Amino acid sequence: MTEGGRRKTEDEMPTAGHPSSVSGQGSTATSRSPRTIIQPSKGLLHIDWRGLLEYRDLLVLLVRRDFLAKYKQSVLGPLWFIIQPLATTIVFTVIFGNVAKLPSDGMPKMLFYLCALVPWNYFAVSLQSTATSFTTNMHLFGKVYFPRLIVPLSVVVSNLIAFAIQLLTFLGFFVYFKFFSVAGPLIRPSLELALVPVLLLQVALLSLGFGLLISALTVKYRDLVYAMTFLVQLWMYATPIVYPLSQIPVQWQWVFALNPMTAVIEMFRYAFLGSGAIKPWVLGVSLSMTILILAIGIVLFSRVEKTFMDTI
C-alpha cells in the first residue's frame, strides 16, 4: 500500500471457506463484499477528484479546525483579523507615506495601502500555512488514508473567512473616504469590480501552488520552513504594495510583471479606487505564471506524498 494514491472500489472475489458451488444444484453461490484498493496515482498532474468529493466532510472539519484553533486561546480572538491589517496600514502610512513621501497615485494613503494589504494578507497567510502541510500534519497522515491534497485545500478555504472580514473592514474605510472626505471625487470604482472574484480565485490558486511546491521541498530541506517568513517579506516589497506600479520605470516593468501578485494588486486597486492602470499583457503574464506554479506544485506534491512518511 502506498502513502499517496487513488482509491478504487471493486467487488471482492469469493472469500476463503465458501464453496463456489452447491452440490445438487445448478447454481453458483459466491460471497461478494465491497473493498477499497489504494493504488499509486498515475500521471504527473493527476488529481483524485473522486476522493476529494468523498472526503468533503473531512475538508469541512479541517477548515473549522484551522479557523477556530488559530485564535482560540487569544483574548481578542477574530478581532486580530482586523487589528493586524490596520496596524500594518498605519505603519506604512507613517513610514512610507509621511516620512519617505512615496506617492499613492493621488489616493488617500491609508486607503491605498489597505486596499493592497487585503489580498496580499490572504496570499501570504495561505502560502505560509500551506507550505508546512507535510511537517505539521504528519501525525494525521500516518494514521489513516485520505487524499493528502485536502489538507492544503482546507488552509486556502479557511483563510477565506479572514479575507472576508478584512475586506469588510476595507469597505468601511472605503465608504468613509468616498462619501465623507474631501478625497471622495478622486475615488472612482470601475467596472472591473466584477473581476474581484476572479482575482480572489487566482490568489487562492497561486498560494496553493506555491505552497504545495514549498511543502514538497520541506520534506527534505527543513530550512525552508524557517526561511519562509523572510522570503514572503521580500516578496511583499517586490510587489507594488507600498508604491504604485506607475513609479517603476517602463523598461523595468516587465521584471515586476513576472511577479504574479503585481497584476492582482494593481487590478484590485483599479477596481475599487480607479487608481493606476494595468496593461493586458501584464495580466496575461500573471495568469500564465499562476498556472505554471500551480502545475509544478501539484506535480511535486504528488511525487512526494507517495513516500514522505519514510523520510519526514
Lowest mean pLDDT across 48-52, 68-72, 170-174: 68-72
Instruction: Assign 48 a pLDDT band (cuts: 50, 70, 90).
Output: confident
Mean pLDDT of the chain: 82
Q: What is the mean pLDDT of residues 186-192?
A: 93
Provide the β-strand partners of residue 7: 38
Predicted local confidence at residue 224, as pLDDT? 83
| Confidence label for 34 from pLDDT (cuts 50, 70 and 90) | low
Cell of 293: 506554479
The more confidently predicted of residues 13 and 129 is 129
Residue 40: predicted pLDDT: 53
Question: Does 23 have pLDDT greater than 70?
Answer: no
The CA–CA distances, whole Å, from 207 to 68, 156, 166 equal 21, 8, 18
CA angle 61, 167, 152 (to 5 degrees): 30
Delimit the domains of the chain by residue range. Answer: 71-311
Listed residue (201, 245, 234) closest to 112, CA to CA: 245
In the chain, the N- to C-terminal Cα span, in Å, equals: 18
User: What integer pLDDT is reported at residue 207 of this predicted model?
Assistant: 95
Exposed e or buried b per residue across 18-40, where buried means at least 16 C-beta atoms within 10 angstroms of its C-beta: eeeeeeeeeeeeeeeeeeeeeee
